[in-house]
Structure formats: structure tokens, C-alpha cells
Chain A
Amino acid sequence: MILKTGMQRRIQIAGILIVLGLLVELGSLFSPRPSAFITFMFVGGLFLGAGILLYLYSLVVPGRTE
């Protein structure tokens, strides 16, 4: 059985957030409208930013084995 550390769990959550952000950005790229740009910047950017910050946080905070 593979034990997951807190760090690995955080990396998984960060990965999910980043994938969501990239999917939003990918979807909005196909629309030429200004609202798509806003979605790209603020919704996609929010998920991406949160995911990247969580990943960076997981690097500096020691995790415990669950």
C-alpha cells in the first residue's frame, strides 16, 4: 500500500486546480468575444494561481504521512 504524505495530497489538489484553470483557458481560447478574455484572465487565472500557489506552499511546508 502506498502511503500518501500531506505534501503529495497538496500536490494532487494543486494539480486538479491547475488542470481546471487550463481547461477554462483552453475553452475560452475558442471564443473571440471580450467576455471570453475576461473568463480567461479571471476564472482561468484564479484556478491557475491558486493551484500554483498551493504547489509552491507544499514545497515549503513539511507534510506528514497519512
Chain B
Amino acid sequence: MQKEIAVIEPATTLVGFILISIALIAYVIFRPEITMTMVGKILAFLSLFLLPVLAALMGANTYVEHSKTTGFCLSCHEMQPYGKSLHIDDSEYVPAAHFQNNRVPRDMACFTCHTNYTLYGDLKAKLRGLRHVYVHYLGTVPEQIKLYTPYSNRECLHCHAGARSFEEGATHNEELKRIVLLKSNQVSCLSCHALVHDVTHLNGLTFWREEKR
């Protein structure tokens, strides 16, 4: 079930690309008369149009990739209890068990189970993401953070569908069609696997300490 961890490349290439663009633009700014020649026109087109557009696209791509990381989600203090809940030393807690046993890549733990959240969701979800940034800086953060829509089984099934433990599991096949109802999202996985991010009761729990290897 362990997914290949997507490595986010350091932005060195992009930084170099931006610096080269700036150097070329500076040349055009200080010697605008070169745009009277054919070579100058090509240089101006490259430096004032093509390179900046490419730099912006590469930068946006770097950010979108980075936004999949657990560190990105937990960079807002509102999310930190949810990050802490991944370290609960109790295998009954579904997110903690997944995180600690590498059932999800640890550096993309949030994204793996919330693939339709904010930046990765539809337009409505993206606008909610913008609203979250606004609320973080200028608004009032609600005491309890809830998902906008019920948790979809899709998030579980993109790994568990086809897995023997899911397909042949006694409980999943106990009643006729239960597995069909799970696959069609008519019965929630959370109706049985209900212990998830219980951030209101973190104080009385013990936590697993991850050893850096």
C-alpha cells in the first residue's frame, strides 16, 4: 500500500532561470535601442515574454507540488493538532496507524487522504482555500474545523480497492452487498472505522516519537 514518494526537486533550476531572465531584461532596460534590430527584437521577446511566462509556470508548478506536503498543511497553526494526531500511540486511530506504519507517505500524509481539498479540488474547493488564507490572517478561526462535505470513500478506495484485506475481509463481506455499498459510497468507511482525528481529546493521550533515521 506504500506509495512511491514523489520527491520535490529543490528550486535551484527555477531560481537560476529567474535570475537569467532578470539579467536579460536588465540588458533590454538599459539598452532599449537594441530592439530596433532583429536580434534585439528576438532578445526582447525572449526576455519580456517567453522566459517570464515559463518562469511563472515553473514556479506555479513548484508550489502546487509543494502544497502536497505535510509540512505545507501544518505550516498553519490551526492544522497542528491534526498533525499531532498522526502521532497518537494507539493503532485504533486510523490516521495515526496509517501514518506510523507507512501506509501513506509521511511527507504527503494529508494530501494522500484528502485529495479533493482546497487547491486540488474543484473551483469551489480552490475558493475555499483562498478563504482559509483570509480567515487565517484576518478572520476568526472556528473552534472546531470540519470538512465541508462528508468524507468520501474514494479517499480510502484509491489504495484499498483491490487489496485482499479489503476485498476478502470478513466484515466487508458479512452482509450481502456491503462491499458494493462501500464501493459506491453509500455506506461510509468511517461508519465502522470511526476513530480519526479526534483533536479535542489529545491531552490525555500518549504519542509515538518518530526516530529520525
Does B18 touch A at the CB level, under 8 Å?
A: yes
Given A22-B55, A32-B72, A35-B137, verify A11-B48 contact (CB < 8 Å): yes
Q: Which A residues form the contact surface with B (CB < 8 A)? A: 2, 4, 7-9, 11-12, 14-16, 18-19, 21-23, 25-26, 29, 32-35, 37-38, 40-41, 44-45, 48, 51-52, 55-56
Inside 8 A of A18's CB, which chain B residues have their CB? 21, 25, 48, 52
Q: A18-B52, A52-B49 are in contact. Are A4 and B32 (CB under 8 A)?
A: yes
Question: Across the interface, which residues of B come within 8 angstroms of A2, CB to CB?
Answer: 33
Known: A29-B62, A34-B76. A52 touches B28 (CB 8 A): no
Task: Please indicate the chain B residues that have their CB under 8 angstroms from the CB of A52 in the complex.
Answer: 48-49, 52-53
Can you show 9 pairs from A to B with CB atoms below 8 A apart?
Answer: A15-B25, A15-B47, A32-B69, A32-B71, A32-B72, A34-B136, A45-B56, A48-B56, A55-B49
Q: Is B75 a contact of A33 with CB atoms below 8 Å?
A: yes
Please report B residues at the A interface, Cβ cutoff 8 Å. Answer: 11, 14-15, 18-19, 21-22, 25-26, 28-29, 32-33, 35, 44, 47-49, 52-53, 55-56, 59-60, 62-63, 66-67, 69, 71-72, 75-76, 129-130, 132-133, 136-137
